[in-house]
A and B are shown apart, each in its own frame.
Chain A
Amino acid sequence: GNSVTQMEGPVTLSEEAFLTINCTYTATGYPSLFWYVQYPGEGLQLLLKATKADDKGSNKGFEATYRKETTSFHLEKGSVQVSDSAVYFCALGAGANNLFFGTGTRLTVIP
């Protein structure tokens, strides 16, 4: 079946630190992969996506590479800011009419 396993948080980093949030998946077929971000009290916003193996999605300094050999889509950012504090969700789209979401990782960046 389809599922996403996401690094559990919470994650607390100092400003300008390097961020990695791990995401691995199981899927039938060839899924698309997404990272969404949720700021406090708001809905989810698409952060980046990749639709095939070896694609790299990027946005706002965040990057993630679709690795088919390791079934992973880890989120990275070289230098986090306080404004990046949010909950991050990894998601998979394959086959059925819905996305499969990870449980979310809460990131807090302190000045």
Chain B
Amino acid sequence: SQTIHQWPATLVQPVGSPLSLECTVEGTSNPNLYWYRQAAGRGLQLLFYSVGIGQISSEVPQNLSASRPQDRQFILSSKKLLLSDSGFYLCAWSVGTIYNEQFFGPGTRLTVL
């Protein structure tokens, strides 16, 4: 069966510090991978998606970046965090077309102080 892992589960970082969030998927090959952000009391905002190693599409211009160094690994990064980067970050995967469902990880709660 497939599983998706995210870490860390929670993170508190000062403004201006770097960020690295990691997501890995097990039990599937060549998945589509996604990063979403959920701000407090709001819906989901798609940040990045990837259909293969080294292929990243950005949906929202910002100070975040994503990388996919391996088939089942997806990393979200920032060189300098802003207060507005606080939120709940969710990684998801899917296979095949977008008509198939996405499966979500447990999320990382990031607080920038």
Residues of A near any B CB (own CB < 8 A): 31-32, 34, 36, 41-46, 49, 51, 89, 93-99, 101-104
Most buried by B among A31, A34, A98: A98
Q: How many inter-chain contacts with C-beta < 8 Å in the A-B complex?
A: 58
Residues of A within 8 A of B104 (CB): 36, 43-45
Closest chain B CB from A108 CB (angstroms): 14
**B contacts with A: majority SS:** strand
Closest chain A CB from B24 CB (angstroms): 14
Number of interface residues of B (CB under 8 A): 24
Residues of A within 8 A of B107 (CB): 41-43
Give me 27 A-to-B residue pairs in the complex whose CB atoms sit less than 8 angstroms apart, sorted by A's number.
A31-B99, A32-B100, A36-B104, A41-B107, A41-B109, A42-B106, A42-B107, A43-B6, A43-B105, A44-B44, A44-B90, A46-B102, A93-B98, A93-B100, A94-B99, A97-B57, A98-B34, A98-B98, A99-B46, A99-B98, A99-B102, A101-B43, A102-B43, A103-B42, A103-B43, A104-B43, A104-B44
Most buried by B among A44, A51, A101: A44
Asked whether, in the complex, the Cβ of B57 is within 8 Å of the Cβ of A101, the reply is: no
Asked whether, in the complex, the Cβ of A98 is within 8 Å of the Cβ of B43, the reply is: no
Asked whether, in the complex, the Cβ of B90 is within 8 Å of the Cβ of A97, the reply is: no
Asked whether, in the complex, the Cβ of A98 is within 8 Å of the Cβ of B99, the reply is: no
Instruction: Tell which of B6, B42, B101 touches A49, judged by Cβ atoms closer than 8 Å.
Output: B101
Residues of B within 8 A of A98 (CB): 34, 46, 49, 59, 98
Residues of B within 8 A of A97 (CB): 32, 49, 51, 57, 98
